Structure 1
Amino acid sequence: MSDAAKQTHIRAHPLVQRLLSLELDPDHCAVFGSGPMLAHGLRRSLGDLDIVARGPAWQKACGDGDLGVSKIGGDPVAAFWGGRIEVFSVWFPPDVSTDDLIDEADVVAGIRFVRLRHVLAYKRRLRRPKDVPDITVLEQALSAPAHAGSPQVA
């Protein structure tokens, strides 16, 4: 998929459109969970979007969303649209800081997406039945030699 097609595809996704409507500061949040796989063409659909946020993005999410507690790490979460978008200030497991996840994120279509290696580490750690197919795809993508048209998986 060309870069222009990828950007159009990402921005056209209904959950991404809803994320953009939240108007979270794009320098202070990044899509995590399976979202980065969509951004790199490794998934075609998503049921939800998980966001890691800090500072002004986290504060805005807390002010606008429904506050709760994460099922996995027990940390605060701000939910939108019945939990279809969830914003976290820390990610489980906290092996990498929120700042590093956001600052090192890949930018696709003007949106930050956490690096695929972090997504793989997260999915390996949880190893839920729904993660197993993603783990296989991520392992293949991350081990494939880089060439034109390959996702940037650093």
Structure 2
Amino acid sequence: MNTQLTLRQHPLIRALTELDLPVTDYVIAGSGPLLAHGIRDEVSDLDIVTRGPAWELAQTMGPLSTAPWEDVQRVLLRRGHLEVLNGWFPSTWDVDEFIDNRVVIDDLPFAPLDRVLQWKRTLGRAKDLDDIDAILRYLTRSPLPPTVHPSHP
């Protein structure tokens, strides 16, 4: 990401925060976590998985439609740049468990990278393959905790 632009200054993140969804009832999925970790400099949209109050609020903001997988419903906002969904690969993850296992970055909830890696491997699209490589490079670059050696007298 451009070092001059913080995560919260990104136009899509700003648009999401303007929705004022309850932060405990959604998680940013799709490629959003790659943006948050600095793995990608840009994303064209945000996938926001919601439950309960966040989903109820989202449904008041635009027309409801069916997402392209597993009977998930969605509301497209900001000309489709924000896709608010009521599930994320439900045959793999329960929506509550998915949201509860979020990673918080800059006070925003994101799906963990291991989950991003799992669904991108499942989808296997060309853009997913590039993201898989980038995630794996990022994870292998991450510093390991220091090794603790027992003290010897």
1:31–1:49 contact (8 Å) kept in structure 2: yes
2: CA distance, partners of 1:45 / 1:93: 27
Richer in helix (by share): 1
The runs of 5 or more residues in structure 1 that have no matched partner are 149-154
State the one-letter code of the partner of 1:32.
Answer: A
Report the alpha carbon displacement of residue 132 of structure 1 after superposing the two structures with TM: 1.1
Structure 2 residue corresponding to 1:55, chosen from 32, 52, 56:
52
User: Is the contact between residue 117 and residue 142 of structure 1 (CA under 8 Å) also seen in structure 2?
Assistant: no
RMSD (CA atoms): 2.0
Larger Rg belongs to? 2
How many residues align? The count is 144
SS of the equivalent of 1:130 reads helix
Q: 2:110 aligns with which of 95, 109, 113?
A: 113
Instruction: State whether structure 2 residue 23 is matched by structure 1 residue 26.
Output: yes
Distance 1:35 1:116 in 2: 10
- Distance in 2 separating the partners of 1:10 and 1:62: 26
**Gaps spanning 5+ residues in structure 2: where?**
146-153
Return the TM-score normalized by structure 1: 0.85
Q: Give the one of 139, 144, 147 matched to 1:142.
A: 139
- Kindly provide the CA deviation profile for residues 6-52 of structure 1, in whole angstroms up to 9, marking residues without a partner as x: 9x611000000000011110010010000001101111001000011
